[in-house]
Structure 1
């Protein structure tokens, strides 16, 4: 027994270390992917979607608040990969960790469920997890750059806005996808796979054409997202939205299609407005559809149970109900 207890005590630190390293690796890899589509506006380098924030929040919601050291470690390695570390590295680490941790705490306080099966879960993720909590990471990070002398005061607000929007988009686009993949239990049927393949082909063709066309046809993306939300609910809608956001970021980086002949500030505003409206549409619409599906299934199950109860009462109550009808004429004949 003592050997088993000692093994378990040794196993806990090892599991914690492995989990911390895994979270740090995922955070670092997601950040490097996000930096591939970085843009510049008024001397501010920003990523339209910072996926590391979404990865961090998903890890906190799934594994608990105890995985926050992995987020800090991943942020530290990211700063080291971008250049020699300075006094701002501590502030960036604190901000990048405090934002997702605050988002996780706020979501848990309102009873957030990771399956995103209710409209209130989608609304909470938008306003508490993305828009409110990411104010912490952007403010702490930009103030750290300003105090370290790496950012000029006139560029404070443009950098702050780009940082905040990038973190918020990471939560809106990446966190739901990771939560859906974590909650997935069984693959769809063969018929659903055919429709999913058709949806994927249409999405790739239509989104590529919409983002790279000079006709500014970004609105063509929304019918695909609506189709995905109606048929595949949250997984399909968020995957389509994430792909469309990535393709739009690539077009904005290259200055082609809907983002051609625009100033850097106009590119940033147009891209972020598109990403924000697309993420809100996909998340909230799929949440409403999922909630209606759950409600309809609950009503069907209740009706089925009620029918079984009525059938049971009818089967056991009919003999007793017929007995008095047969006994009544006999009593009347005896009285005569």
Structure 2
């Protein structure tokens, strides 16, 4: 018995270290991806889709509160990649860790379910996990830039807004896709794979055309998004939304297509409005469709059970209402 307890005591720190390193590596990889495309707003550099926030929220939902150490370590690696560490870096680390942790605690308090099959769970993720929690990181980061003199006070609100929306987009666009992948189980049965292939081909041609065309054709993506939500629910709509947002971000940072002749503020406003509308449409529409389908299946299942009960009762009443036959009623053989 003592040997078993000793093995468990040794296994727990090893699992914790492995989880911490995994979370830190995922956070750092998400940060490097987010840094591939940047917007320069009033002298500050912000990422339109800061994917580490989505990675951090999902890691907290999967591993629990103990993985905050890995989030802090990943944020530290990102800061070391960007600049030399200073005293103000401590504030950035605190904000980068506190924002997803706060989002996780809020989601846990309201009974958030990771399958995102209920509309309420999607609303919780939007308003608690993204919009409310990411106020911490954006406010801390913008305040530190002003305090260190790296950002004029007159530009703080613009930078704060861009920072907040970028962190929120990381949760809205990246977290649902990661949660979907986490819940994916083999073998995957793909009954509509032909339609999925056709949809992927259309998206691969239409989305780059819409996001890089000067004629401002971004609105043509929405029918495609509705199609994916109707046919493939969360799996299709969020992948389509993420792909369209990435392509729009590439176009915006390259000053191409509908973002060609816009100022820095206009590029940020148009891009984040498009990304936000796309994420909300995909997330909420797919949740409504999934919830309605689950409700219909529950009603059909209840009706089927009711029919079986009525058939059983009818058969029982028929058997009970039939008069019993005794020996005197049987015909006698006169021979």
TM-score when normalising by structure 1: 0.94
- Matching residue of 1:90: 90
Other structure's SS at 1:56 match: helix
State the distance in 1 between where 2:283 and 2:163 align. 22
State the distance in 2 between where 1:224 and 1:128 align. 28
Q: Offset of 1:186 from its aligned partner?
A: 4.4
- Matching residue of 2:302: 302
Other structure's SS at 2:322 match: helix
Do structure 1's residue 170 and structure 2's residue 170 form an aligned pair?
A: yes
- Matching residue of 2:333: none
- Matching residue of 1:114: 114
**Gap runs ≥5 in structure 2:** 330-335
Superposition RMSD in Å: 1.5
Do structure 1's residue 48 and structure 2's residue 48 form an aligned pair?
A: yes
- Contact between 1:87 and 1:148, CA under 8 Å: does it hold in 2? no
Do structure 1's residue 133 and structure 2's residue 133 form an aligned pair?
A: yes
- Matching residue of 1:147: 147
Q: Offset of 1:144 from its aligned partner?
A: 2.2
Other structure's SS at 2:49 match: coil
String of CA shifts for 1:185-230, please: whole Å, max 9, x gaps: 2455454222111111111111010001111000011011101100
More helix by share: 1
- Matching residue of 1:268: 268
Return closer, same or farther for 1:81/1:213 CA change in 2, 3 Å cut-off.
same
| Number of corresponding residues | 327
String of CA shifts for 1:3-54, please: whole Å, max 9, x gaps: 2211110010000000001000000110110110111122121111100000
- Matching residue of 1:37: 37
- Matching residue of 1:7: 7
State the distance in 2 between where 1:186 and 1:289 align. 24
State the distance in 2 between where 1:170 and 1:30 align. 10
State the distance in 2 between where 1:125 and 1:186 align. 27
State the distance in 1 between where 2:86 and 2:307 align. 71
Runs of 4+ in 1 over 6 A off after TM superposition: none
- Matching residue of 1:234: 234
Residues 193-202 or 70-79, more deviating: 193-202
State the distance in 2 between where 1:29 and 1:193 align. 30
Q: Offset of 1:307 from its aligned partner?
A: 1.5
State the distance in 2 between where 1:190 and 1:76 align. 41
Return closer, same or farther for 1:198/1:187 CA change in 2, 3 Å cut-off.
farther
Write out aligned runs for 1:66-81 (5 A).
66-81=66-81
State the distance in 1 between where 2:196 and 2:16 align. 38
Q: Offset of 1:241 from its aligned partner?
A: 0.3
TM-score when normalising by structure 2: 0.94
